[in-house]
Structure 1
Amino acid sequence: MKKWILIVSSILIIAVAGVTAYAAYIYQSVKTTAHKIYESRDGQVLPEPAGKEGNTAEAAGAEYSASRTEKAAPFDLQDKKPFTVLVLGVDQREHDRGRSDAMIFLTVNPAKQSMLMFNIPRDTRTEIIGRGTVDKINHAYAFGGVNMSVKTVEHFLDYPVNYYVRVNMEGFARIIDSLGGVDVDNPFAFSYAGHRFDQGQLHLTGQEALMYSRMRFDDPRGDMGRNARQRQILQQVIKNSLNIATVTKIESLLDEVADSVKTDITFEDMKTFLMDYRTDLKKIDQVEISGQGQRIQGIWYYLVNDKERSRIHQLIKQHME
């Protein structure tokens, strides 16, 4: 009997040691990835850790605040404080910064156990902050990168952006594959880029999700319909990412995130999100910015009047309270 107790105890000790070692490995992998994808709004990155004592990712983290612009001062996450995120889906090209193919604004409020999500239509006509011109809002990224995009969105919504996340759209497809794909409810059948999307419930791979979210001209709602599909995809990615089952796929997910994402969310804030916020997010509410299309000097714009901008501003403010 004692022999069996010794054997079982030994197995348990080995199992616990294995789990502890794996947890430490995952922790280090996440920390390394967080360091790699961090980039301030003005394009500055953290110095690479040299591996010497005192020069770890935590030590380098002391330089986060120094590398940020004044507008992008570190956001203090305390007592599950609500925050805002601007997600930029960027269609990057060779020798070209590209444009923000998708601009999605999120407010996260754990006290209300919800997120608010809406697209900013990419053809929206607005002042481009830092350039002194009026143009399509998605051109801000081509003119001045993340920093100009964030400042322009803050001006348009009259509300601060606490964090940004920039995602390369092709890399986003690989992230979706790492999460096992996404499930969507397609409101009508259509074909795009040689692929058929039937009406009803669909399970999509990463590339299929990109095609599904890009179709516009055959949608009776045009760009608004495409925006709705983009939010549908992002909502499913968020839900899958928060699902504990995805931990088994974390290594491949981290590899794709490292290659496809840039953000000014620090490693410490990422830990706070996962530990303090994740279980409180029960639903995602969606709204749309209403406007009308108009051609001005031969260029097509989406015009949003002051009343609508005020309505969206109030929705953000109310959700953040």
Structure 2
Amino acid sequence: MKRSDRKKKSRKLWLKIPLAIILVLALGIGAYAFSVYNNAKETVNKKMHEPVESIDYNATKKKVKATEPLNILLLGVDQRANDRGRSDALMVLSLDPTKDKMQLISIPRDTRTTIVGRGTADKINHAYAFGGADMSVATVENFLDIELDYYVRMNMEGLQELVDELGTISVDNEIAWNDGKYDFNIGPVEMNGDKTMHFVRMRKQDPNGDFGRTKRQRQVIQGIVNQGASMASVTKINGLIDILGNNMTTNLEFDDMKKLLTGYKDTRKNFVSYQVKGSGTKIDGIYYLIVPEEEVTKVHGMISEMKS
């Protein structure tokens, strides 16, 4: 073989090697992406999806398809063995893709209101104990005179796993305290899952009591959204999916989630949070938060404005 022919063959070989590596990588990435997609779809539709009668799903699908504003009820549940538990965190998340705006409104768990389906006045977080997500949705809709499109129920213990899978989250802490395990200084605080649970559950050292705790809950939600949106490692996706599958239920289907990710992803650019206000009192020895009608009207207006 001529020397020139050997050089040509050598050049062709060295050209084929990187092309072969690129092809193998492309096939590997494609296979991984396909497995992630299938895992996510199966987890959402088979493990997490639980429709409720109080939400007209067909009407909601039309809104999502048209990329219209949406209201989502977030339920943070302290679930125990052989006990449904109560919703310790209730929040209405409103998404407005036309204004790229996200609004998160907390409803204190001790708020006294009519429990739809029972016809009695009680703490709003008892609705979940009595009738699960369906009764919670109906009760919140009645309390604020709004329409909810989706609900998401998250086991609070799963919150710790979720943060650990993300790595850490960061919040801007407003009061300093030590709970015997962690120091929480004023300013930016970076937290793993365990520290996050201490952060959201502290109440006695907060001068604002449960109001302060619900504000920290909103901060954690925002921290998770921000960290999840900026997360660089796609290798964590399957882990996140598994955690959500074991700790979350929702009437969202996989296709709905895809549409939210594409059509509503920029709403996090303008984040607004608020908490329903009222005054505490005891009725028959039980503590309740009484929310005046003018406050209910104000919050109703805030949510309605997002949908106008």
After TM superposition, the score normalised by the length of structure 2 is: 0.91
Alignment partners' CA distance in 1, 2:157 and 2:131: 22
**1:93, CA displacement in angstroms?**
1.2
**1:232, CA displacement in angstroms?**
0.2
Q: CA 1:277 to 1:31, structure 2 compared with 1: closer, same or farther past 3 Å?
A: same
Q: Is 1:254 paired with 2:241?
A: yes
Amino acid at match of 1:87: L
**1:3, CA displacement in angstroms?**
2.4
Q: Specify the alignment match of 1:39 in structure 2.
A: 50
- Aligned to 1:220, the other structure's residue is in SS state coil
- Aligned to 2:74, the other structure's residue is in SS state strand
- Pick which of 148-157 and 71-80 moved more: 71-80
Amino acid at match of 2:25: A
- The one of 252, 261, 273 equivalent to 2:260 is 273
Q: Specify the alignment match of 2:30 in structure 1.
A: 20
Q: Is 1:158 paired with 2:145?
A: yes
Q: Is 1:184 paired with 2:155?
A: no
Q: Does structure 2 conserve the Cα–Cα contact (< 8 Å) formed by 1:104 and 1:119?
A: yes
**1:246, CA displacement in angstroms?**
4.8
Larger Rg: 2
**Paired residues, number:** 294
Structure number with the bigger relative contact order (C-alpha 8 A, sep ≥ 6) is 2
**1:198, CA displacement in angstroms?**
2.4
Q: Is 1:134 paired with 2:145?
A: no
- Aligned to 1:265, the other structure's residue is in SS state coil
Q: CA 1:118 to 1:193, structure 2 compared with 1: closer, same or farther past 3 Å?
A: farther
Amino acid at match of 1:40: P
Show structure 2 runs of 5+ residues with no match.
1-10
Task: Please give the root-mean-square deviation of Cα atoms over the aligned residues, in Å.
Answer: 1.5
Q: In the TM superposition, what whole-angstrom CA distance separates every residue of 1:96-148 from its partner, at most 9, and x where no partner exists? A: 11100110110011111110001100000000000010000001111111111
Alignment partners' CA distance in 2, 1:280 and 1:129: 31
Alignment partners' CA distance in 2, 1:246 and 1:103: 31
Amino acid at match of 2:158: G
- The one of 56, 60, 66 equivalent to 1:79 is 66
Q: CA 1:195 to 1:8, structure 2 compared with 1: closer, same or farther past 3 Å?
A: closer
Q: Specify the alignment match of 1:108 in structure 2.
A: 95
The share of aligned pairs that are identical, in percent, is 41
Alignment partners' CA distance in 2, 1:78 and 1:104: 24
Q: Does structure 1 conserve the Cα–Cα contact (< 8 Å) formed by 2:54 and 2:134?
A: no
Amino acid at match of 2:29: V
Q: In the TM superposition, what whole-angstrom CA distance separates every residue of 1:244-301 from its partner, at most 9, and x where no partner exists? A: 5252311211121111111110011011122232245312111121211111221111
- Pick which of 133-142 and 12-21 moved more: 12-21
- The one of 18, 21, 40 equivalent to 1:8 is 18
Q: Specify the alignment match of 2:112 in structure 1.
A: 125
Q: Does structure 2 conserve the Cα–Cα contact (< 8 Å) formed by 1:117 and 1:287?
A: yes
Amino acid at match of 2:94: T
Q: Does structure 2 conserve the Cα–Cα contact (< 8 Å) formed by 1:90 and 1:167?
A: yes
- Aligned to 2:275, the other structure's residue is in SS state coil
Q: Specify the alignment match of 1:200 in structure 2.
A: 187
